[in-house]
Amino acid sequence: MKKTVVALCLTMVMSPLVFADAPVTDMSTPEQSSTEPTLQQKAQTMEKDVKQKAEVAGQDVTQKTHQVITQTEKSVKKWKAESATKSHKMIKAVQADLKELGYKVGQIDGMIGAKTKAAIRKFQADHHQTSDGQITQKLKNTLQKVKATLSGQSSNEQSSQ
């Protein structure tokens, strides 16, 4: 009985080894010609095509993103330069208006220094505005109204003399 069990075990162990050396036969269907690509070859070709298209698309996206970033950076620089120039001119105009109205702004240089801030606060307080030293549209409008009122009074004084 022991011999039978041993023989059976050897057969089970050896049978895969015997078949492992057997030649693999072509599993393709008889109607498939040798020049026609197999399903696996078609899949590989499609995979290569998709990878190539994805790579090209990725490069296109990267290039377009770079172009957009570069254009945006240029636009921001230009906007900052224009904004700084406009801001500088606007500050100079406010300083000139305040000086014309008798407020001590220091030098009219387009910079908001301590004297300009103090003059803006004083003007704001004199005209019942929040005294924060900030140049706002309300401040600019009030400056224009006060200047217009004063120029109207001075022209009336000149005509009555």
Which residues have C-beta within 8 Å of that of residue 91, sequence separation ≥ 6?
A: 110, 111, 112, 116, 135
How many of the other CB atoms lie within 10 Å of CB of 47? 10
Q: What is the pLDDT of residue 54?
A: 81
Write down the domain spans for the chain. 54-149
What are 25's two structure tokens? 């036969």
Q: CB of 147 within 8 A of CB of 97?
A: yes
Quote the mean pLDDT of the chain: 78
Q: What is the pLDDT of residue 155?
A: 58
pTM of the model: 0.50
What are 93's two structure tokens? 């105009």
Range from 34-38, 40-44, 90-94, 139-143 carrying the lowest mean pLDDT: 34-38
Looking at domain 54-149, its CATH architecture is Orthogonal Bundle (1.10)
- Give the distance between the most distant pair of CA atoms in the chain: 146
Q: Which amino acid is at 83?
A: S
